[in-house]
Structures are given as C-alpha cells and as structure tokens.
Amino acid sequence: MKLTILGSSSALPTSGRYPSAHVLNAHERLFLIDCGEGTQMQLRKTRIRFAKINHIFISHLHGDHVFGLYGLLSTFSLMGRTNPIHLYAPENYDKMFKSHLSDFDINLSFEIDFIPLSGKDPIKILDDKYLTVTSFPLQHRIPSYGFLFREKKSERNLIKEKIDKYQIPQVRLPAIKKGEDFITPDGSIIKNEDITLPPREPLSYAYCSDTKYFRRLASFVMGVSLLYHEATFDKGKEDLAAITGHSTTLDAAKTALNAGVGSLIIGHFSARYKDISPLVDEARTLFPKTYPAIDGKTYEVGNITDP
C-alpha cells in the first residue's frame, strides 16, 4: 500500500497546499479519497494514471473536499472513458450531484455507480479479493464519514525446495497455501509450517478528515498501520476547533494513541499556518510517530520514516 497526498489544506488553498485529496495505491488499484479543487492538476503533477481510478470516496459535502470532482469527471469523459466510476458519498449527495451535471450540461461517457453513506456505525462498503473498505461516522457540522482500507490476509508462501523434496503435486498446492498439511502416499504427515512461510501481516489505512474529537473514533480505527487524521488547528485553538467541528494536533494524536496505530499523518492544515513543523512537533509530544501530510509526497503504508 502506498499513499500519495494531493492536497493537505483546509478550506482555502495556499501557494504550497491544495485542498483535501489523497490517492491510495493498494495492489496497483487506485482509490481517490476526497476531491478538492485542483485534484486533477495534482494527479498530473504526480503522474498518477487517471484511467486506474475506479473508486472515489467523498467524506462530506464541504467544497474543499468535493469541488474538484466535477472537473475531474468531465476530464474523464473528454478522455473517452467508458469504465464506470464507483462513487461513495453521503446519501444526500446523489440528487445534488445529478443536478450539477445537468445544470452544466455535463454528459458523461460512463456510468456512475453511487453508493450512499449513512448511519451511526461502521458499514462495509467494498469487499473484493484484496481488501475491504469500511465507512464510519465522524462528528462535523454536517454528516461526515471516514474510511478504513484493510488488506485481506494473504495465503501462505510455498517453500520451493520443500515442494520439490516431498514431490508435492501441483493439484495440492492451493490447499497447502491455505494452511493444510500434506499427506504423503505412505501416509506420513508433513506439517504445513514445514513447507510454507507465513505471509506478511495485512496493512491498513484509515482516513479521518473533518471531525471534532470524540472517544469512540479510536475504536473505529483500532490498530491500523497508518492513520490520517485532520489537525486543522494547534492546541491553543481548541475553542475554535470545537466551534467549527475540527480537531487540534493533540486531538489527532490522542486518537492515534488510544487506537494503538502504527503511524499518524496529520493534515487539513488551516491556511493561517505557513510553517507546519510546529504542528507536527506538538502532536509528537503525545504520539511520537507523527508525520506531516506534504502535497505531492508518497508514503509507504507500514514503513514511514522521517526524510
């Protein structure tokens, strides 16, 4: 899994930061998460292939998370796209989305498969061969949702030398990769752990943007390899965070700590901060493995280090 930050600013873009947008690469399948203004320009700058994006997730219906979507979909259409787009967004967006396309005479060359987000509990919204995606409620001024991408456990890895040694037929290999022992023609049992190696631990990534702190959030993202959590303000602006439905650096760090995550990336920075390093330092006082969301940078999930 690799995560590319396309935008890390909140509300207002700055000269160095675009509004919210991430691309998660999981098994060479690309998932676009939020689509603020300028997303398609950032996709070009980071050389991410438009055609490989088939799933788009919109956390909530504030402009800095969705204004880039219409232009991006229009570009897809002008490029001759025919594959459908699976669009996950709050349930009230469907009518608004269709109205916008109609108002601006945007006739897409592909279908939109709209998957509505709702509810007060986590809901599995995607399940395929490689991973599951779960949406979960956040607490913002309007309905807002986070997303948890979790790899499925891989099959065990065959040890070629042992396969050859015991002359295991090809037809038995699928079952052995799933954990079965091998029984030789004379009835001897070869333990699975003697002929295979365990797979690596599945990776996971959670996206939490536009939410105030609430204790239950940690249970939604428990133990993830990488957590992205908004940190719009520094700790001195906790009153403003509460009014606007956002988080401070310490709110994000507290959730990461309570959830026992591997690493934390903070972003969605207010435009008032020209230098974000103090925000990262502040979060690190509570959760040392905190890193900044930097526009255009790609992070390897499960293996993030300081530059």
Rounded distance, CA 222 to CA 256, Å?
Answer: 9
Catalytic residue (one of 34, 64, 210, 295): 64
| Partner residues linked to 190 by β-bridges | 182
**Is residue 127 annotated as part of the catalytic site, yes or no?**
no
User: For residue 143, which of 124, 161, 120 has the smallest C-alpha distance?
Assistant: 120
Kindly give, in sequence order, each residue whose CB lies less than 8 Å from that of residue 236, ignoring residues fewer than 6 positions away.
none
Task: Give catalytic residue positions.
Answer: 64
